[in-house]
Structure 1
Amino acid sequence: MYLHIGNNYSVDVRDIVGVFDIENTTVEKCTKKLLERAEKEKHCIYTTYEMPKSFIVTVKNGIEKVYISQLSAATLRKRLKEGGGF
């Protein structure tokens, strides 16, 4: 099953490590470091040019990717419960 995270982007739910609210989590130093490292290593994928509301961390074959989404973490969690958002 895939989770639609906005603007024609989808991720395999088996690869999702976590879905995070960007406002509440980026105040922590460790989260800032995670996002900075992902950006520096070019593992950060922006799914929108709008104001980001959440980020999704995935790991597939040992490679971490961080998707930045305009959808709220609550919306993404709801989509997960309902079967992926398609």
Structure 2
Amino acid sequence: MFIHLGGEKIIRSSELIAIFDIMIESSSKISKQFIDFAESNKQMETIGEEEAKSIVVTHDRVYYSPISSTTLKKRANQFITM
């Protein structure tokens, strides 16, 4: 199954590790370090030109998504319950 992250970006649900609200970046020192590490290793991708509302972590990339973490979690849970 697949999860639409916004724009034209779709990932396999099996690749998904975590979905976070964008506020975690400013409220957690460890989260900020994780994001900085992903950026320095060119593993970070911003989806679209809209303001990011969530951070999506997969096996090999970290995405800034314009879709809220609540909506993305609902989409992910649809596949888990099937």
What's the TM-score, normalizing by structure 1?
0.85
CA RMSD of aligned residues (A): 1.0
Matched, 1:76 2:80: no
Aligned length: 78
User: Which sections of structure 2, spanning at least 5 residues, go unmatched?
Assistant: none
Taking the aligned partners of 1:17 and 1:72, their CA distance within structure 2 comes to: 16
User: Which sections of structure 1, spanning at least 5 residues, go unmatched?
Assistant: none
Matched, 1:65 2:61: yes
2:54 alignment partner in structure 1: 54
Normalized per residue, the structure richer in helix is: 2
Taking the aligned partners of 1:44 and 1:8, their CA distance within structure 2 comes to: 16
Moved over 4 A (4+): none
Give per-residue Cα distances to partners, 1:2-21, cap 9 Å, x unaligned.
10000010111111110000
Q: Which has the higher contact order (CA 8 A, sep 6+)?
A: 1
What's the TM-score, normalizing by structure 2?
0.89
Taking the aligned partners of 2:8 and 2:34, their CA distance within structure 1 comes to: 25
Q: Secondary structure at the match of 1:4?
A: strand
